[in-house]
Amino acid sequence: MKLYGIPNCNTVKKARSWLSEHNIEIPFHDFKKQGVNEELLESWLKQIGWEKLVNRQGTTWRQLPDEAKVAVRDETGAIRLMLEKPSVIKRPVLEKNGKIHVGFDEAHYQSLFGK
Contact (CB, 8 A) for 88 and 82: yes
Helix axes 10-21, 106-113, angle to 10 degrees: 40
9 included as an active-site residue: yes
Distance CA 107, CA 72 (A): 31
Residue from 3, 6, 9, 41 carrying the catalytic annotation: 9
Query: Burial, 13: exposed, middle or buried (Cβ in 10 Å; 0-12, 13-18, 19+)?
Result: middle
- Return d(Cα 31, Cα 101) in angstroms, integer: 16
**Catalytic positions, please?**
9
